[in-house]
Amino acid sequence: MVDALMAVNEGMSVRRAAEQFNVQKSTLSDRETGQVKVGSVWRKKPRLSTVDEGAREIS
């Protein structure tokens, strides 16, 4: 990702950098325009078990 961003900053098109560095074009574009921070990672929210949910209600 960092190499792809550097290539874009040096003048390579987002499309070409995405292909060359095997990165999603939309992800690279979002990072390049600042819509998403470079170091951020999307993660799924953890699912709570029924025991965890019960403990959460008590707290």
Residue 30, C-beta contacts closer than 8 angstroms, at least 6 positions apart: 36
SS3 content of the chain, % helix, strand, coil (to 5): 60, 0, 40
pLDDT digits (tens, 9 = 90+) for 6-47: 999 999 999 999 999 999 999 898 888 777 766 666 666 777
Q: What confidence score (pLDDT) does residue 53 get? A: 61
| Gap between the Cα atoms of 41 and 47, Å rounded | 18
**pLDDT at residue 36 in the model:** 72
CA–CA separation, 7 and 1 (whole Å): 10
> Within 13 Å of residue 54, how many CA atoms lie on the same side as its CB?
3
Residue 52, pLDDT score = 64
